[in-house]
Amino acid sequence: MMQKENVVDPWIEKLWEVLPTVLVQKSSLSIEESIEAEKQIEKELTELKIDPISVPYSMKNRKKTLPDLVEKYIQLENSLVMNPSVKAEETFKGFPLQISLAGLEPGAKLTGLPRVAAPVAKLIKLDGKKESNKINVPDFVVTPSPITYAPVTMVSCLSTADAVKRTLELELDVGDDVDFQPGDAFGVVAPNDEELVQAILNRLSIQKESFHDLYSVEGDVSSHLQHASNTTLIELFRYGIDLISSPRKALFRMLADHTSDPKEKLTLMYLCSKQGSAAFNAVRDEHPTLLDILETFPSCKPPIERLLDLLPAHTPRFYSISSSPLKRQGKIRFAFNVVEYTTASNTKRKGVATPWMDKLTEIVPARTTPTNIEIMTTKDCKIPIFIRQNANAFVLPAETERPLVLIGPGTGIAPFIGFLEHRQMQRKIRQSMGSIGHARQIKESFGPIYVYYGFRNQHKDFLFEKELREFETDGTIARLRLAESRGDDSPKVYVQDLIKNDSAQLFDLIVNKDAAVYICGDAKGMAKGVQDALAEMLVEHQKVDAAEANKILIEWISSKKYLRDLWA
């Protein structure tokens, strides 16, 4: 069986080069031409050589050229096929994946293959073109509230140049029409990376002149494309589909059906089989873009409709507001890390919205002192946003007398800056009213606030240092606890370590004085560490076992006493 595959597979590979000679309109072929074509096929069969599959799969020595007989068709005026010799916008390249075929045994049958998803989307070409703006969100994008194009009025870098992560704070002018409170979140509708979008369209052999042709997406498509009419290919790839999320097996199965090279087709089928599970997981761990996948399989030519069927929706990115409307009326501030990272194979990756906003605001310089330099923008720079209603009650309690425990390492401190600004302004307003009896005393009108904040290095990424010190000085913060995990000469300390050290005080504040507990930040390590520390506090001071302690924490979450805003 294996010997037959070694003969048949190369024969099929060679077949594509001569197939156009027998697929030309039959009525136009003479008898002599047909006989000549058959002789050509016989000649190809005699020249076959056995070429075993290499492991791991490599792109080395792969051909990307089209057969000679196809060349004449790329010159047609109405052709969407781009001349491969025209290197348009090829400065942006994908990263071909290294795929191990170690689990692919000779002659073994692949099992567990997913069914091919049925075709759904239909692209209907319309008359005309549309020169779409990169910032203007197309009409087919649906958001829970109307999109506002908010001008950027201020940008500041909160971290130093040698910090592990680059952290920015932006201020947006949202006017008087947007109502918000500290703790609310809003969505940013950022496009996919423009270089990535154009590189993918080029890879799909779409001529650049066709990027702005008008189309309508019809069929029983997913909700994110149901209103995609009178749009363009470049809008669909900018705002309609996700180009960077980890691929699913259904995508590889579809791509296999549109791959002409037998070795590449086999590799794609292997990736979505039971035997290829380890290789599939290794590919997902690399977080490849659609361009990386297409670069790995040069003979793969999927129709755009099938990509619309199989790729998930491009989604907005959400950020917590880090300011108070009492201090900055009509303005909102928010902070974020610019998402850039390196995979295990040393491939550089980046996010969608944060690098886009960094570039949009002209990549401001990193801070050099604890005081951030706020750069007021004069450029006409706008970000499309929408406000999301706060469904999880992650806002300040209406009762100002209630004590608060705020736990937020890294950029998790951002929404709490808004909380603290709001409390600071409320205290100032109450103070300006004067003391009218005992109930008007500031200390009795506002409960104590404990803040637990963690960072890597106080000289590099102590975010909002000036603001936090000010809140501590004026009494807005009753106790500021700082955890430095990558100090120059100090041992690693995390917020959960401080919570364990302060367990007696926190038990009195949370249990006896009914403090509300808020936690914001990473859902993986930090959130679990804090949960365990709070459970240990209950075990030690309430004298319950671990199971009962966790049951109490679940009850706190249910009653909104313990509120969490976490991300992966």
Task: Tell me the per-residue pLDDT of 252-295, one tens digit each, with 9 for 90 and over.
Answer: 999 999 999 999 999 999 999 999 999 999 999 999 999 999 99
pLDDT at 91: 62
For residue 419 the two structure tokens come to 């909380």
Q: What does the alpha-carbon distance between residue 312 and residue 282 come to, in Å, rounded to a whole number?
A: 20
pLDDT at residue number 90: 53
pLDDT value of position 22: 42
Do 495 and 483 contact (CB within 8 A), yes or no? Answer: yes
**How far is the C-alpha of 174 from the C-alpha of 145, rounded, in Å?**
14
> What is the C-alpha separation between 419 and 182, in angstroms, rounded?
6
- Residue 490, sorted as left (phi over 0), alpha (psi -120 to 50) or beta, turns out to be beta
Please report where in the chains the tokens 């031409």 appear, as a residue.
33
pLDDT-flagged residues of the chain (< 50): 1-13, 15-31, 33-35, 37-89, 436-439
Look at residue 440 in the predicted model and tell me its pLDDT.
53
Strand ranges across the sheet with 404-407: 479-484, 449-455, 404-407, 516-522, 562-567
The separation between CA 30 and the C-alpha centre of its own chain, rounded to angstroms, equals: 57
The set of residues, in sequence order, having a beta carbon less than 8 Å from that of 67 and lying 6+ positions away, is 16, 17, 19, 20
Contact 270, 282 (CB under 8 A): no
**Pairwise CA distance, residues 208 & 193, whole Å:** 17
Q: Distance of alpha carbon 37 from its chain centroid, rounded?
A: 51
CA-angle at 334, arms to 521 and 400, nearest 5°: 75
Name the nearest CA neighbour of 391 among 561, 553, 184. Answer: 184
233 contacts 322 by C-beta, under 8 angstroms: no
How many angstroms separate the CA atoms of 314 and 440, rounded? Answer: 51
| Nearest one of 539, 487, 485 to 511, comparing CA atoms | 539
